[in-house]
Amino acid sequence: KAGVTQTPRYLIKTRGQQVTLSCSPISGHRSVSWYQQTPGQGLQFLFEYFSETQRNKGNFPGRFSGRQFSNSRSEMNVSTLELGDSALYLCASSPREGNTEAFFGQGTRLTVV
Amino acid sequence: AQSVAQPEDQVNVAEGNPLTVKCTYSVSGNPYLFWYVQYPNRGLQFLLKYITGDNLVKGSYGFEAEFNKSQTSFHLKKPSALVSDSALYFCAVTLVGGYNKLIFGAGTRLAVHP
């Protein structure tokens, strides 16, 4: 089975712009979660989707949003980028509805200049 | 608030020696506990999980973890470390009713020296 695929792998954006990141989960996985990883804050949960419904949302401003499509692929969007949004964004898919292991993609490295 | 603590930023061990990476948690209710490993420029890889049952859980690459409810700990162990085990290790928890939301510790860098 193919693993979790995230595109693009690297992005450089300017402050004020917006960005969309994409995640294709493992085939058959309906749960998709997003995390932000930074040296200062570590790994922080952004949101989780299951069957196109957002079930959980982390403590991030409204500039961060996401969605999931009927084929379980997910996107996250960050509007009005700030320098502090520079991070590794990780997507994970899980085989069951809850409390199960997550399989992570390699991440998208976003740099805001 | 629910939290996971990894008290050591870095653990150094000689190749062939046993290793322990510590993790404690503070949650309400019964936790589901996980260990993940991250190699440079890579995403996280699942190592093992504790849901219920035996307190000693065996996982990938020879790793195991011991769940201790009274000490609220879930330490990662390996009997004989390899240089290739050098990486960043994360302890995490999900909660009943929390679906697949992972709450991570800050991570511990493991350095195995030849």
pLDDT at B41: 77
Range scoring the smallest mean pLDDT among A102-111, B8-17, B46-55, B61-70: B46-55
Please tell me whether residue B101 adopts helix, strand or coil conformation: coil
pLDDT at B52: 84
- At residue B28, the pLDDT reads 86
What is the overall mean pLDDT for chain B? 94
Task: Kindly determine whether residue A102 and residue B42, on different chains, have CB atoms separated by under 8 Å.
Answer: no
| Confidence tier at B98 by pLDDT (50, 70, 90) | confident
In angstroms, the CA B88 to CA A26 distance is: 24
**Given CB atoms, is B31 within the 8 Å cutoff of chain A?**
no
Low-confidence ranges of chain A (pLDDT < 70): none
pLDDT at B2: 87
A 13-42 residues inside an 8 A Cβ radius of B: 31, 33, 35, 42
A/B interface, count of CB pairs below 8 Å: 71
Cβ <8 Å between B98 and A98:
yes
Tell me which chain A residues have a C-beta less than 8 angstroms from the C-beta of B44. Answer: 90, 92, 102, 104
- Over chain B, what HEC string results? CCEEECCCCEEEEECCCCEEECCEEECCCCEEEEEEEECCCCCEEEEEEECCCCCEEECHHHCEEEEECCCCEEEEEECCCCHHHCEEEEEEEEECCCCCCCEECCCEEEEEEC
